[in-house]
Structure 1
Amino acid sequence: MSVNPWWQQAAAELNDEARNLAWQHQNQLTKPPGALGRLEVLATELAAMSGQSRPELHHPHCIVFAADHGVVAQGVSAFPQAVTVEMLKNFVAGGAAISVLAGQNDFQLSVVNCGTAQPCDALQGVVHQPVAAGTADFSQQPAMTAAQAQAALTIGAGQLDLLHQAGCDLFMAGEMGIGNTSAASAMAALLLDLDVAGLTGPGTGVQGEALDHKTQVLSASVTRAQGSYNQPLDALIEVGGFEIGAIAGAYIRAAQLGIPVLVDGFITTSAALLAVHLNPSVRDWLLFSHGSAEPGHLLLLAALQAQPLINLDMRLGEGSGAGVALSLIRQALALHNNMATFAQAGVSGAED
């Protein structure tokens, strides 16, 4: 009798009783029902996830997963791979956008090296779990082996096990890796059976002829990979990235452990798409922070039937959109938990 791999094990069940109690509470607050719009929905969704009719956040945590991509040899990025390790240094030094947001919005930040092209094992403040020194050039061959794909998924799962033990009650993932918009676009094209041209954007800022070249490289890569694509994990193997696999594994494990997930932008949404294709039960645990300026993001959100919380034309990555949207979630919960009811305020309700 075959046993399903860990990533196919069911996610935790949402608590419908807590959601219903949260809605009852919302309808007693000193406002017309529905007047706070999606802030009300957000609070009740978190009630179902937490099992508490008055949910609170105490230990949100963001992990930035980093890795490099062999396809950059084809000239698909405006930046060299050396930038990946330089940005890891920036993350731990506190100078990156996600580092600033962690301090501003009071969440923990970790950085995990899943496989940079340049060695950085001596860099303090980073968890080093490299699968390999970057993926292979997926325009020429599969990005990774099946064993490497499973190792990437397991990195993310292991990090979530640690966060769960530490009491994490909301998980955000960020990413860093020169070339990873190319991987995200190609992987999503395979998973959704779409033309990769419609999923390809500027990434680090490629424009004009450079963007046309990037699109051509990705189109040829997806065509190559389609001959070997039979199941969702093949998308990661053929054209994915180690950090994207780790994020997908983290999302799956978070859902299994009952930890709400706040998805960031284009690349992390491609990881969410992979996670949901590997394990559909994960979808119930995903909240989506923002609509990225990357043109393919809207297609991914539509495929996941997701409506992001904010749209600020951001396309930085790192988890920065999630870091900004976290403050909105906190406000939704503050309103839900701290507003007076009609009875408490001595205000006549709609039916009085």
Structure 2
Amino acid sequence: MELLKRTVERIEGLNEDVMKECRDRVDNLIKPQGSLGKLEDLAVQMSGITGEMFPVLDNKAIIVMAADHGVCDEGVASAPQVVTVVQTYNIPKGITGVGALAAVAGADLVTVDIGVQEDLEYGDTIINKKVKYGTDNMTKGPAMTYEEAVKALETGIEVAESEIKKGRKIIGTGEMGIGNTTPSTAILSVLGEIAPEEITGIGANLDASMVENKANVIRRAIALNCPDKKDPIDVLAKVGGLDIAGMAGTMLGCAANKTPCIVDGYISTMAALIACAIEPKTKNYLVTSHFSKEKGAKTASELLGLTPMLDMNMRLGEGSGAVLVFNIIDAAINMNKAMITFQEGGIGVV
């Protein structure tokens, strides 16, 4: 708990002076004011995070948290849990969705076993940070203990800080865990006080009867465990997941170290909700990447209060949406750096 406490205490507001300077420049670039939309806001946010007018965010990584979920025993997933193991091996090889896209963005993949149900062969490609062998079945009791939830959060912090010390300038969040839309929807149901059937989606292509079962499972888990929405760690422990906790910790670690963090889709947004509930200033350091196609995604983004950059009809996870935003952020910074202002162009009247 000490690492979590120290990390939260280090999270500050953005550099308002540099943001004002950046906004003044962006508003006077040789274009109609506001005509480059979200790129303008991104440039200002990146300056506020880093304290630099023209930050260089050229050492990029997606941290992928891999974990299993005991609630899969209730038939909430269309794929067997062994897929978590298989994909955890495949992700660092660059042969999954996020790998293909990361190669284009020039981003590295950092794969973390935070709770896969089997022991893996770790070597240099997978980081062993296993908190436990998957969460417990949340329809039988809490998904994990409060202490395990804290440990998973602190694991995310540790991994983020380790990568930042290696020189990472910008980090995206990703996950791998069969069944993880179920705890994600349970978290959203609790934090948003929304009935599960209103936000439960198809996940990895469930049919209608399985979606109905999934919503019922979520309702039973919430009724049994009575998570306290005023305590985000209690919610995480009772109906969450180790991968979600790890991503939330990553976001807190990035915020404490003034490093931009890109939120992937639906499941990453649940992590962002938890992180921002723990420390609201974390939101300043986040960029939400895309509107997931998952049913509850729009509601989750609205609850978080951040509008995603893209709407691509994607719902893969892994960090596949987050990695797309790396190049957009590069474009935003280069817009500010490469374009001239009206004054620099010898035009006195804007």
TM-score (norm 1): 0.94
- Structure 2 distance, partners of 1:41, 1:312, is 21
Match of 1:86 in 2: 86
Q: Alignment partner of 2:306: what SS?
A: coil
1:222 aligns with 2:222: yes
The answer (yes or no) to whether the contact 2:227–2:239 under 8 Å persists in 1 is no
Structure 1 residues 101, 4: CA separation in 2 closer, same or farther (over 3 Å shift)? closer
State, as a whole percentage, how many aligned pairs show the same letter. 31
Aligned to 2:52: 52
Counterpart CA distance in 1 for 2:186 and 2:226 is 10
For residues 280-299 of structure 1, what are the structure 2 equivalents within 5 Å?
Answer: 280-299=280-299
Matches within 5 A, 1:67-106: 67-106=67-106
Do residues 134 (structure 1) and 130 (structure 2) align?
Answer: no
Aligned twin of 2:272 = 272
Q: How far 1:241 moved relative to its partner? A: 0.8
Q: Distance in 2 between matches of 1:51 and 1:138?
A: 43
Closer, same or farther in 2 for the Cα pair 1:170/1:195, shift >3 Å?
same
Q: After superposition, what is the alpha-carbon deviation per residue over 1:138-183, rounded to whole angstroms, capped at 9, x for unaligned?
A: 0111001112111101110101111221222211110000011001
Q: CA deviation at 1:270?
A: 0.1
Q: Provide the residue aligned with 1:120 in structure 2.
A: 120
Further displaced range: 189-198 or 81-90:
189-198
Q: Deviations over 1:9-49 (max 9, x none)?
A: 24133111111111121133211111111111111111111
Measure the CA separation in 2 of the matches of 1:59 and 1:186: 35
Match of 1:176 in 2: 176
* Residue identity opposite 1:307 in structure 2: T
Partner of 1:329: 329
Contact 1:121 1:128 in 2 (8 A): no
Contact map agreement 1:10 1:279 (CA 8 A) in 2:
no
Query: Shift in Å at residue 252 of structure 1?
Result: 0.9
> Number of matched residues?
349
Question: Taking structure 1 as reference, are residues 209 and 235 closer, same or farther at Cα in structure 2, changes over 3 Å only?
Answer: same
SS of the residue 2:111 aligns to: strand
Give secondary structure in 2 for the equivalent of 1:320. Answer: coil
Q: Structure 2: how far apart are the matches of 1:80 and 1:198?
A: 26
Aligned-residue CA RMSD (Å):
1.8
Contact 2:190 2:227 survives alignment (8 Å): no
> How far has the Cα of 1:7 moved from its partner?
5.1
Q: Secondary structure at the match of 1:212?
A: helix
Q: Decide whether the 8 Å contact of 1:173 with 1:247 is kept in 2.
A: yes
- Shifted more, 221-230 versus 321-330: the winner is 221-230
Cα distance in 2 for residues equivalent to 1:227 and 1:44: 38
Q: 1:336-351 residue pairs with structure 2 within 5 A? A: 336-346=336-346, 348-351=347-350
Paired residue secondary structure (1:108): strand
Give how far 1:230 is off. Answer: 5.7
1:21 maps to a residue whose letter is E
Tell me the SS of whatever aligns to 1:5.
helix
The alignment status of 1:147 with 2:150, answered yes or no, reads no
Query: What does residue 41 of structure 2 align with?
Result: 41
Structure 1 stretches of 4+ with a deviation exceeding 3 A read: 121-124, 227-230, 343-346
Residue of structure 1 in register with 2:241 after alignment: 241
Letter in 2 for 1:218: I
- Relative to the length of structure 2, the TM-score reads 0.95
Distance in 2, matches of 1:68 and 1:232, equals: 20
| Paired residues for 1:190-269 under 5 Å | 190-226=190-226, 231-269=231-269
- Structure 1 CA distance, aligned partners of 2:225 and 2:162? 35
Distance in 2, Cα, partners of 1:244 & 1:113: 12
Cα separation, 2, equivalents of 1:8 and 1:91 = 30
- Cα distance in structure 1, aligned partners of 2:31 and 2:227: 57
Letter in 2 for 1:292: S
Letter in 2 for 1:209: S
8 Å CA contact retained: 1:190, 1:226: no
Aligned partner of 2:156 in structure 1 is 156
Which one is further off, 219-228 or 168-177? Answer: 219-228
